[in-house]
Amino acid sequence: MIFARKVWKLLVALKDGLALLFLLLFFMVLYAALTVRPSVGSVKEGALLLSLDGVIVEEPSLPDPLEFLIASEAPLAEYSSRDVVRALRAAAKDDRIKAVVLDLSRFMGGGMVHLQDVGAALDEVRAAKKPVLAYASYYGDDGVLLAAHASEVWVHPLGGAFIAGTGGNNLYYGRLLEKLKVTAHVFRVGTFKSAVEPWVRNDQSPEAREASKALYGALWDGWKADVAKARPKADIALVSTDPVGWLQASGGDAAKAAQAAHLVDKIGDETEFGERVAELVGEDGGNSVPGSFAHTRFDTWLAANKPKKPGKAIGVVTIAGEIVDGDAGPGLAGGDRIARLLDDALEADFAALVVRIDSPGGSMMASEQIRAAIERHRKQDIPVIASMANLGASGGYWVAMPASRIFAEPGTITGSIGVFAVVPSFERALSDIGVTTDGVKTTPLSGQPDLIGGLAPEVSGMIQANVESAYSRFLSLVGKSRGKSAEQVDRIGQGRVWDGGTARQLGLVDQFGGLDDALAYAAKAAKLEDGDWHAVYLGDGADPFATLLQRMRGSEAEEGDVIGRGFDWAAMAAGRQDALAARLLADVDRITGTRGLQAYCLECSPDRETARDRSARQSFLAAIARRFGLTAE
């Protein structure tokens, strides 16, 4: 028996040792997967293939692991506008690249400024005598804008191209809240501060409609001008003013209608398009799929063309997405995260700082936190320049205040200088089902703010006074930055949103230009010679886990097909329903969440799923997962 016990202990020890060994090996493999950059292949002579199966953004958000695991399909891909432009410019100069292929089969769009930047880079490719070919089954407004810069535009025989124009609808909950007997206490300053209107109205106010008409009219004119310049024969007026008559003239065949309006050049499926590209760049000898052609993919091309780093460093901090409290981001501008990046950068000896903004604003506290961190650079005699992409409104404008010069584009949405707060209370709804409140109070503020029993008049007065004080501070900051009095700023403030062209006339921005222009100006301000500096993007280090998820998501085209299967118009409409659901969730999150004072622009994204919308949707999925025990904590 003693011998048997010793043998048993030996076997148990052996089992524990093997389990420990396998566990150690597992974590070693996991570490290797997270830290070793996956091979993305090698550059081939042929075409540069850009399969944009997602959206073009300023700063891609990190993929949510829980959404990735429980979603029925891969999360929407996000492509940095800066990376796409860099890839195209490198392709224009490299003899190995004979043509650029834009696969827009599953393209979901982007902001106008980003699309115009990519379009300008496509023009550089064509100026280098290299053809640009675009393919999709369906082109919406954003796809039409990009494809207009191609030398050949193809569409699937069952596809088409449609122009909806800028603008769209917002959701209004005034009647719903009244039926539910929920009181939305609104505190605001600004005649045009329409971000609160969804909670107290059933439609758009005349003031908000006036501002929106001016804004979207300017953006629409800019879109038409860009397409007309790149594709002069395109009959934009016919497609946008009489879409039914235009389509009926081609017997309801949307592809032929698009060709007749010169929005596309040729009609053909993926194979026919691929064969056309192969005529120009050669066939892909290692791929037996019909329509394959020699090509290099986007990731491979970026990896082979890393940015050069000559001379001194100029720091670039990116403020993209809604500005929120905490460490959120990338994709959302978390005040704590960005302020920490900026403070760490004080030790990096940057010659200058460029603040790249693509934000509709958000939390005033987080906006001030970021502004103060940028101001600390200014106090160190570091030149600070602001560069606005698609959005630089409300809190997005607030964080630009320390800059000595502000760059924007005609299509930038900016201004929205105003402040608001919304606090819901439920006393009427709860009273109907027999829930009331009572208690002992020692001051008028005891137990306040009381979301169950309602807000005391003193609380409402104090919040409104706080909002007015914050607005006065906003006016003061803008006036100090732009050389204007508070009264002058108030006349162009009041929460009104402006397009970049009007904003320049009003003195809210200094000059037109993109990020490259802002960097060049910053270099000059730092007394650096041309070619003797490089940009360093704060917090731009790759997240290993995010990289692994992105590689895992793959794409249909990477499974063997060169050109991916695309959407039709009905599928795009279904996708809009998903975006609408996300918007509903985001709005619920916005009114019920603890937000504090807000400097947020409602008009900035009325018809596109934002990072906040995606965050709300992910939170909803996460809540469902937790309900069934699928936690990722």
Structure tokens at 59: 């700063």
CB distance 149 to 121 below 8 Å:
no
CB distance 348 to 315 below 8 Å:
yes
CB-based contacts of 58, cutoff 8 Å, min separation 6: 80, 81, 82, 111, 114, 318, 320, 356, 358, 389, 390
Where are the extended beta strands (E) located within 115-172?
132-139, 152-161
Instruction: Quote the CA–CA distance of 633 and 630 in Å, as a whole number.
Output: 9
CA-closest candidate to residue 522, choices 385, 400, 381, 387 = 385
First to last CA, the chain: 47
**130, 193, 224, 256: which one is catalytic?**
193
Distances (CA, A) of 283 to 125, 129, 291, 304, 471: 21, 20, 8, 22, 62
Cα angle 364, 391, 497 (rounded to 5 degrees) comes to 75
CA-closest candidate to residue 61, choices 609, 523, 623 = 609
Residue 550: which H helix or E strand, with range? helix 544-553
Is 193 a catalytic site residue? yes
Classify each residue of 169-188 as buried b or exposed e, where b means 16 or more C-beta atoms within 10 Å of its C-beta: ebebbeeebeeeebbbbbbb
576-584 long-range Cβ contacts below 8 angstroms, 24+ apart: 578/609, 579/608, 579/609, 579/613, 581/617, 582/609, 582/613, 582/614, 582/616, 582/617, 583/171, 583/609, 583/613, 584/171
CB distance 480 to 178 below 8 Å:
no
**51, 394, 416, 605: which one is catalytic?**
394
**5 φ, ψ to 5°?**
-65, -40
Instruction: Quote the CA–CA distance of 42 and 480 in Å, as a whole number.
Output: 53
Distances (CA, A) of 67 to 342, 576, 580: 30, 19, 18
Residue 467: which H helix or E strand, with range? helix 457-482
Classify each residue of 49-83 as buried b or exposed e, where b means 16 or more C-beta atoms within 10 Å of its C-beta: bbbbbbbbbbbbbebbebbbeeeeebbbbbbbbbb
Segments in 316-448 forming alpha helices (H): 335-345, 364-379, 395-398, 427-432
Instruction: Quote the CA–CA distance of 332 and 269 in Å, as a whole number.
Output: 38
Cα angle 202, 203, 206 (rounded to 5 degrees) comes to 135
Cα angle 47, 51, 53 (rounded to 5 degrees) comes to 175
Residue 11: which H helix or E strand, with range? helix 2-35
Catalytic residues: 193, 394
